[in-house]
Chains A and B, each alone.
Chain A
Amino acid sequence: MSLAMFVQHLFNALTLGSLYALIAIGYTMVYGILRLINFAHGEIFMMGAYFVFWGVTLFHLPWPIAVIGAILVTSMAGIMVDRVAYKPLRNAPRISALISSIGVSFFLQNFAIVVFSAIPRAVQRPDWLVKVIVIDKIRILPLTLVFPVLSFILMMGLLYVVYRTKPGLGMRAISKDIETSRLMGVPVNRIIAITFGMGSALAAASGIMWALRYPQLQPVMGVIPGFKAFIAAVFGGIGSIQGAVIGGLVLGFIEIMIVAFLPTLAGYRDAFAFVLLIIILLIMPTGLMGEKLEDKV
């Protein structure tokens, strides 16, 4: 393989990895606070993608406005999911909320089939994202430069909120000891809503970029990326934001490189992620940066 090819793969890997990482952050944050694996998170990703293309094609909004609007609407949807499906179960056994999240996942997929129709839709991409740039024999799709940068900015914004603001302090407190957080006057329900909102916003951003990278929309488009991002979060150590980012990047990297270097195995690229999950659960169940947890769901 030539160096030029390798560099191209590298950019592809970075793009795929950052999109996984953005989704994985939502899994890990919700898990960190509620010890809940929100299986509806992949559907939130899907909704973000659909909303933006609704905005562009149906309402003829300019791209930036459609993107921001879709992210806002999707984070509202994420907060709603918590309110309706998880909040009533806060004091129930943990497995109840987990099952509820699987229900929400199916509900949202079917809701999307009704509202958006099951027929896959092609996505019209803005030219500047897909007009190949050639630098010294390296052919690069501009979006593979733009998306990792955007993802990086979003992640920095998230880390800022978590580590430098008051709601972030509340999140970090709740994730360790919810009752004592209450005692400190932390408005627990509001902080949980903010967490769902932010996680959903990142998933929406990822879904939008995903739809521009692989230009097709489908109600089930969130399932596989959702599962893989979940695996990335487990690999990084569920509950750890840094772990989710590293896990996402590693998973994207391995996936692209397997296809690039072992083309005969390309058909197994999805299976690979699940093999990775089994290996992690067997040899290091707490992941790279995870803490020892007494009981996992």
Chain B
Amino acid sequence: MLRISDLNVHYGGIHAIKGISIEVPRGKIVTLIGANGAGKSSTLRAVAGLVHKSSGSVLFDGREIGKLAAEDIVKAGITMAPEGRRIFPHLTVLENLMLGAYSRSDQKGIARDIDWVYELFPRLKERTWQKGGTLSGGEQQMLAVGRALMGSPKLIMLDEPSLGLAPLLVKEVFGIIKTINDEGKTVLLVEQNAYAALKIAHAAYVLEVGSIVLSGTGEELLRNPKVREAYLGG
């Protein structure tokens, strides 16, 4: 469904992504793990059209989207819950969700998806009229994921959705990622929590300073001694 080939990203003189290729098959969860600064966020942001790609191609459903503007990539069917949540603190929970649906005009579909998001995250429903900034960290994360779902994506990209959450919430978030996937969304997941990510992923890539050093199914990488040593604490 998504095929990234030979992607390069430069920030000024820094060569952050060095010719990586990643394939995300339809209906699967693919995870990208790696240490801080490996280039995970840069990869997602390049796909989303937020950073300039020096070279490489991004094919989505067979169509080249590498040159599209961010808003057109959303229209094509890719949304993202960015690192650090980035919800709009001065807007209500409902307004945040409606922003996620900005590119759509099918009122019925939007209403249906609002119900769906509230079903996935009942705590958001209770806080419909609350300002985003007054939510707890965990609730903000749910809002960020819900907001990305409101774009009715075929592919949803999640950048460290478990960051800074208590263990119980982490479990809940990973459960929800599975649910979303079961309901037909393809997921590209970036995580520091390598163990939990590899457990739910169909395929995984390990990124080190801008290059892919390993790839395989989630299970394969869970068993891989190098991965165990570097990312799973031995």
Contacts and interface: CB of A to CB of B under 8 A. Distances in A.
A259 interface: no
Interface stretch (A34-42, A53-61, A165-173): A165-173
A97 interface: no
Interface stretch (B85-93, B184-192, B218-226): B85-93
A182 B71 contact: yes
Interface string B56-99: 00000000000001110011000110100010111100010011
A170 B98 CA distance: 10
Contact of B50 (A170, A183, A185, A187): A183
Contacts of A173: 88, 91, 99
Interface in B126-168: 147, 151
Contacts of B91: 169, 172-173, 176
Interface string A175-200: 01101111111111000000000000
Contacts of A181: 99
Contacts of B5: none
B117 to A, nearest CB: 14
B80 A183 contact: yes
A176 B90 contact: yes
A173 B99 CA distance: 8
A85 B69 CA distance: 22
A177 B86 contact: yes
Interface residues on B, range: 20 to 34
Contacts of B70: 182-183, 185
- A contact patch SS: helix
Contacts of B74: 183-185
Contacts, number: 61
Contact of A180 (B88, B90, B95, B103): B88
Interface residues on A, range: 10 to 19
- Among A169, A170, A180, A184, find the residue whose CB has the most chain B CB atoms closer than 10 A: A184
Given A173-B91, A186-B71, A187-B71, A166 B102 contact: yes
Nearest to B87: A180
A81 B15 CA distance: 37
Given A169-B95, A169-B98, A186-B99, A180 B71 contact: no
Those 7 A-B pairs whose CB atoms lie nearest each other, nearest first = A185-B103, A185-B74, A182-B70, A180-B86, A184-B99, A185-B102, A185-B71
28 contacts: A169-B99, A170-B99, A172-B88, A172-B95, A173-B88, A173-B91, A176-B90, A176-B91, A179-B50, A180-B88, A182-B50, A182-B69, A182-B70, A183-B48, A183-B50, A183-B70, A183-B79, A183-B86, A184-B74, A184-B100, A184-B102, A185-B70, A185-B79, A185-B103, A185-B151, A186-B71, A186-B99, A187-B71
Interface of B: 48-50, 69-71, 74-75, 79-80, 82, 86, 88-91, 95, 98-100, 102-103, 147, 151
